[in-house]
Amino acid sequence: MAAAEFTALTSEAVRSQGRFTVALSGGSTPRSLYALLATKPSIPWDKICFFWGDERHVPPDHPDSNYRMAQEALLAKVPVRPENIFRIRGEEKDAETAARQYEDTLQQFFHLSPTQFPRFDLILLGLGPDGHTASLFPQTSALNEWHRLVVANWVEKFKAYRITLTFPVLNAAERLIFLASGPDKATILHQVLENGGANLPSQQVRPSQGRSLWLVDRLAASGLSGGANIST
Ligand code: 6PG
C-alpha cells in the first residue's frame, strides 16, 4: 500500500511539475518500504529529490544514521541523481550548525522567503512508542518551535541531540504518510488516533492544506476500536 501511494504520488508530481520532493523517515519501520521501492524501475528516480524528516547526531556511515539506512535500502540501488540527495549533516560537531545548514538548504531549494515554509510533495513519518514523530519527542523544546524550519532538539532520554524538521514544515506538506507496524505500536496508535486529549507530538501534525494518511499493519491496529479511518 505505501509503495503504491509513493509510486502514484511520484508520477502525479512529475507529470504536473517535473519533479517530486520527498522527506524520508528514519527508524526501522520504513526500511522494508524502501527495499520494496528499490525493486521498481518504473519510478522516475532521476526526477525525485530526497530529503530527511530528521537525523541522529551521527556521521552518515554510523549504524544509527537515517541517511545510511535509506542509502543502503534504497538510494544505492536506484538511479537517483546524487545532486538530488539532500541529507542532514549529522556529522557536524554542533547539532545546531547541522540544523542551520539544513534550513539554508531548504530555503535555497524551495526558493523560500524568510517567513515561508517548504511544501514537500510527501513527508514520510513514523510513530514512536511515546507518541513522537520525526524527532519531535514529548517534553522537548522543538515542540514549541513554530518559526524555524529545522532545529537541533535535545532528547534527554538519549542524552543526545536530534536534528528535525519542525511542526510548521510537516504541516505545510502536500501529503503526509505515517507508517506504523508491530504490536509495540498498538497502545500508542490507539492513543494518537482515538484519544484526542493525549496531546502527543504526532497529534500536532495536521497538514493545513494537505492530507495525512496512516498506513498501519494489523498488529499495530489491534488496539483500535475501529473508529479511526486508517488503511491496513
Ligand atoms: C527516527 C525516526 C523516528 C521513528 C520512530 C519510529 O529517527 O528514529 O525518524 O521518528 O520514525 O522512532 O521508529 P521505528 O520505526 O524504529 O519504530
pLDDT in tens, 158-167: 999 999 999 9
- The alpha carbon of 131 and the centre of ligand 1 are apart by a number of angstroms equal to 10
Instruction: Tell which residue, 26, 27, 211, has the closest CA to residue 120.
Output: 211
- The alpha carbon of 127 and the centre of ligand 1 are apart by a number of angstroms equal to 6
The DSSP output letter for 22 is E
Query: Which atom of ligand 1 lies at the shortest distance from residue 30's CA?
Result: 15
CB 186 within 8 A of CB 220: yes
228 or 131, which is more confident? 131
**pLDDT (tens digit per residue) in 104-152:** 999 999 999 999 999 999 999 999 999 999 999 999 999 999 999 999 9
The DSSP output letter for 136 is B
The DSSP output letter for 125 is E
CB 45 within 8 A of CB 10: no
Q: What is the pTM of this model?
A: 0.96
Whole-angstrom distance, CA of residue 201 vs CA of residue 208:
16
**pLDDT (tens digit per residue) in 28-78:** 999 999 999 999 999 999 999 999 999 999 999 999 999 999 999 999 999
Nine-digit cell string for 37:
521501492
Q: What is the per-residue pLDDT for 196? A: 79
